[in-house]
Copies of this chain bind each other. A is one copy, B any other.
Amino acid sequence: MRESDLHALIAAANAGLPKGVMVPPGDDMAQVAVEGGSVLVACDQVIEGRHFLPATPLELVARKAIARNVSDVAAMAGRPLACLCAATLPSDMPESAVRALTAAIQRHAQDLGCPLIGGDTSWHGEPGHPLQLSITILALPHATGRVVRRSDAQPGDLVVVSGALGGSFGADGMGRHLRFEPRVRLARELVDRFGDRLGAMIDVSDGLGRDLDRIARASGMALLIEGDRIPVQQGCSLDQSLCDGEDHELAFTIRGDAAGELPPSMAGTPLAVIGRVHAVDERQPVGARVFLAGAWHAMGSMGWEHGPAQGA
């Protein structure tokens, strides 16, 4: 059983949701109508031994837990509003560590624009069970009301990615996955500048390959990527840039007629055009493919597939 199978199972019930659910399961966040407006909401967790190693400073664990949720807000071009934290603590966690963790969650939530407004704390019943933080984030849509989804790629769109990819989760458990800057400002400026000419968007959390394939499938399009244009993080291989995940950069599409207006960087972050969106036909089935070493390769299996068989 893989997480993608579960997602399919959950999305199968989307048709039965009430119409106040404006964006159902299957995107970076859900959107629900609230009298007079709407709210975006998502949750994501970090588990010791899975998303961080036991020796990781609590300060950085707290930051990662919040920041990966804020990155989902960026993917929808939303404005962070508030967060909640359900924490499960090891039964023998020292009181000083519990206090330090709580303070770190509050501080990073505040710094990242989503103050902590609620939650729940439990302790494991048995020793040796892992620390776990589950964060729920609330956000408002962009001031224009535009909510950028995975499903809005159109034929002729350019495929663009921010920053450089690969090697986020270092061999020692440290690395950029603990310190990345969620691209909230970049996303806002993209909507400000391109409006409806901004197409689909996702944050790169499970690997560029898998995440671009999600845009392709949600949009019913073929994404053709040129391998040699992918911005590779210094010291990483191209393979790592496609598969590693936890980059939390943004991958998005803009309409072909906006190509000339795309600057080399926005909000302090370099932007790279890496491919194009094509309509699906017999020769171009739905999905993302990358041209590497003289051949096209399906990208859907490049990256992190959540499931019981993989380690951290």
**Assembled-state Cα–Cα distance A13/B312 (Å):** 34
Chain B residue with the shortest CB-CB distance to A105: B10
Q: Residue-by-residue, is A121-154 near B (CB-CB < 8 Å gives 1, otherwise 0)?
A: 1111110011010101010100000000000000
Query: Hey, which chain B residues are within 8 Å of A16, CB to CB?
Result: 110, 115
**Assembled-state Cα–Cα distance A59/B88 (Å):** 22
- Cβ of B306 and Cβ of A121 under 8 Å apart? yes
- Cβ of A30 and Cβ of B125 under 8 Å apart? no
Is A277 interfacial (CB-CB < 8 Å)? no
**Assembled-state Cα–Cα distance A134/B134 (Å):** 7
Q: Residue-by-residue, is A257-297 near B (CB-CB < 8 Å gives 1, otherwise 0)?
A: 00000000000000000000000000000000000000000
Is A311 interfacial (CB-CB < 8 Å)? yes
Complex partner residue of A118 from B41, B47, B89, B110, CB under 8 angstroms = B41
Query: Hey, which chain B residues are within 8 Å of A44, CB to CB?
Result: 86, 120
Is A3 interfacial (CB-CB < 8 Å)? yes
- Cβ of B84 and Cβ of A136 under 8 Å apart? yes
- Cβ of A39 and Cβ of B138 under 8 Å apart? yes
Query: Hey, which chain B residues are within 8 Å of A122, CB to CB?
Result: 45, 47, 50-51, 306
Complex partner residue of A20 from B29, B81, B93, B116, CB under 8 angstroms = B81
- Cβ of B9 and Cβ of A102 under 8 Å apart? yes
Complex partner residue of A39 from B34, B91, B124, CB under 8 angstroms = B34
Is A49 interfacial (CB-CB < 8 Å)? yes
Chain B residue with the shortest CB-CB distance to A90: B308
- Cβ of A84 and Cβ of B24 under 8 Å apart? no
Query: Hey, which chain B residues are within 8 Å of A306, CB to CB?
Result: 121-123
Q: How far is the CB of A39 from the nearest CB of chain B, in Å?
A: 5
**Assembled-state Cα–Cα distance A1/B93 (Å):** 9
Chain B residue with the shortest CB-CB distance to A50: B125
Is A95 interfacial (CB-CB < 8 Å)? yes
- Cβ of B95 and Cβ of A138 under 8 Å apart? no
- Cβ of A125 and Cβ of B47 under 8 Å apart? yes
Is A251 interfacial (CB-CB < 8 Å)? no
Is A98 interfacial (CB-CB < 8 Å)? yes
**Assembled-state Cα–Cα distance A32/B103 (Å):** 21
Extra 13 A-B pairs, beta carbons < 8 Å, given A6-B98, A47-B125, A123-B308:
A6-B102, A10-B116, A18-B115, A25-B117, A30-B118, A32-B81, A35-B36, A43-B134, A45-B120, A50-B125, A86-B136, A91-B308, A129-B130
With A17-B117, A125-B312, A311-B125 already in contact, the answer to whether A10 and B41 are too (CB < 8 A) is no
**Assembled-state Cα–Cα distance A307/B122 (Å):** 7
With A125-B312, A126-B49 already in contact, the answer to whether A43 and B136 are too (CB < 8 A) is yes
Query: Hey, which chain B residues are within 8 Å of A1, CB to CB?
Result: 95, 98-99
Chain B residue with the shortest CB-CB distance to A46: B122
By Cβ-Cβ distance, the 6 closest A-B pairs, closest first, are A36-B36, A35-B37, A49-B125, A1-B95, A30-B117, A86-B134
Tell me which of A25, A43, A307 has the highest count of chain B C-beta atoms within 10 A of its own C-beta.
A43
